[in-house]
Structure 1
Amino acid sequence: MKQENYIKGMIMIILSAFFFACMNVSVRLAGDLPSVEKSFFRNLVAAVFAAIILCKNRTVPKVDKKYWGPLILRCVCGTLGILCNFYAIDHLLVADASILNKLSPFFAIIFSFILLKEKIRPAQAACVALAFIGCLFVVKPGFQNAALIPALIGVCGGLGAGIAYTMVRVLGTHGVKGPVIVFYFSFFSCLSVVPWMLFHFTPMSMKQLVTLLMAGLFAAGGQFTITAAYTYAPAGKISIFDYSQIIFATMLGFVLFGEIPDKYSFTGYVLIILASLGTFLYNMRVAKAGK
């Protein structure tokens, strides 16, 4: 892998972490609405943006039949991942739901190893473990208070996202453009929840609608950047930087809600930054050596 592609992938995944942190804040600000309804607006905006980009570039969203399998898996698993994550957020402590969703990079690494035969080196595994420990310090999950079913659904959300990101890697390395992947995923996600929306739609205020549309805009930014990230570099080498979302979320929480992190959170920040720095230096050394 070229060093330039690694740096691009790292930058893209950090940008996606920022966008998704903004999306989470917007979803929280939207108030008490069904998670399925929130997910619909989250993906509707992304679908529109992807369609605009495709039209502007005069790109036909055509995918070779031999890649339909990975594309369908990306759409189905990504949609299930979103729905499970939103359900977990609605039924668990936010900290619990966050840590369960953060299992997705680990699942991405596992499935990249299984499906793409991408190696996981000991140094990378150590950095991932260190970041996971730091994540625990930041979110401080209280698993003893979590209901079993919502917790399992939250784990399924991380699993779904992990498989979806692995499929993004498969599609990207075979020349399927990012906007095409985002369009199909977003369109499928919206279409799949339409039946529920028809029978269980909850009216919302103009403020809630605007907030959800903002969440959709941030989600679109996150989708495009994370799609680009996994097409530039393997999950095992850049997924660690997805944990910067915790830092962004904490900063936004302080600015918007006056939340002040405690000593455990600051300990987590240090561990996550050290893990990210270690991963970055290791991959730079490997890239420079031409391995």
Structure 2
Amino acid sequence: MKQENYIKGMVMIILSAFFFACMNVSVRLAGDLPSIQKSFFRNLVAAIFAAIILGKNHIVPKVQKQYWGALLLRCAFGTLGILCNFYAIDHLLVADASILNKLSPFFAIIFSFLILKEKITPVQGTCVLLAFIGCLFVVKPGFQNAALIPALIGVCGGLGAGIAYTMVRVLGTHGVKGPIIVFYFSAFSCLFVLPYLIFDYTPMTGKQLVTLLMAGLFAAGGQFTITAAYTYAPAGKISIFDYSQIIFATLLGFFLFGEIPDCYSFIGYGLIILASLGMFVYNMKVIKCR
């Protein structure tokens, strides 16, 4: 892997973390609406955005037949990840839902190893573990208070996202363009939940609609950047930087809701930044030695 591609992948996944943090804040601001309805608007905007890019660049959304399976898995498990994550946010403490969602990089690394045969070195494994410990310090989850079913659904969300991102890596390395992947995934997700909206739609205020549309815009930005990230570099080398979403979410929470982190959170920030720095330095040395 070229050093330039690694840096691009790192930048893209950090940008995706920022966009997804903004999306989560927007979903929270949308108020008391069904998770499925929130997910529909989140994906509708992304689908329209992707379609516009495809049309502007005269790209035909065609995928070779041998990659249909990977695309279907990306769509199906990505949809599962979103629905489960939104359900967890609505039924668990935000901290619990966040830590469960952050399991996705671990699943991405595991499935990249199992499916793509990408090796995980001891240094990479140590950095991921350190970041996960830092994540626990930041969100301080109280699993003893969490209901069993919502917690298991949250884990399924992380599993779904991990498999989906692994499939993004498969598609991207075989020349399937990012906007095509985002378009099919977003359209699939919208169509999947559409019957629910038709038969059990919850009326929304204008403010709620605008907030959900903003969530969709941020989601589109997150989808495009994370798709680009896993196209440029393997999950095992860049997924660690996805933890920057916790820092972005905390900063947004402070400026928008007046939330002030405690000392445990600052310890977590330090561990996450240290793990990210360690991964970056290690990968730079590996790339230069090749």
Does the TM-score normalized on the shorter chain lie above 0.5? yes
Give the superposition deviation at 1:244. 0.1
Structure 1 SS opposite 2:99: helix
Deviation at 1:126, TM superposition (A): 0.2
Say yes or no: does 1:7 pair with 2:12.
Answer: no
Q: What displacement does 1:47 show?
A: 0.1
Q: Deviations over 1:19-43 (max 9, x none)?
A: 0000000000000000000000000
Q: TM-score, normalised by structure 2?
A: 1.00
Equivalent residue runs for 1:1-291 within 5 Å: 1-290=1-290
Q: Deviations over 1:160-199 (max 9, x none)?
A: 0000000000000000000000000000000000000011
How far apart in 2 are the matches of 1:168 and 1:115? Answer: 12
Shift of 1:88: 0.5
Aligned residue identity for 1:2: K
Question: Equivalents in 2 of 1:31, 1:274: separation in Å?
Answer: 35
Amino acid in structure 2 at the alignment position of 1:286: V
* Cα separation, 2, equivalents of 1:34 and 1:182: 23
Query: Gaps (5+ residues) in structure 1?
Result: none
Q: Which 4+ stretches in 1 moved above 6 angstroms?
A: none
Cα distance in 1 for partners of 2:92, 2:26 equals: 18
Q: Once the 2 structures are TM-superposed, how far is the Cα of residue 74 of structure 1 from its aligned partner?
A: 0.1
- For the residues of structure 2 that align with 1:91 and 1:214, how far apart are their CA atoms? 23
Structure 1-normalised TM-score? 0.99
* AA at the equivalent of 2:146: A
Cα deviations across residues 255-289 of structure 1 (Å, max 9, x unaligned)?
A: 00000000000000000000000000000000000
Which letter does structure 2 place at the counterpart of 1:53?
A: I
Count how many residue pairs are aligned between Structure 1 and Structure 2: 290
State the shift of 1:86 in Å. 0.3
Specify every segment of 5 or more residues in structure 2 that has no aligned partner in the other structure, as ranges: none
Taking the aligned partners of 1:230 and 1:160, their CA distance within structure 2 comes to: 16
Percent identity for Structure 1 against Structure 2: 86
Opposite residue 215 of structure 1, the aligned amino acid is A
Distance 1:201 1:235 in 2: 38
Structure-2 separation of matches of 1:67 and 1:164: 14
Aligned AA (1:250): T
SS in 2 for 1:120: coil
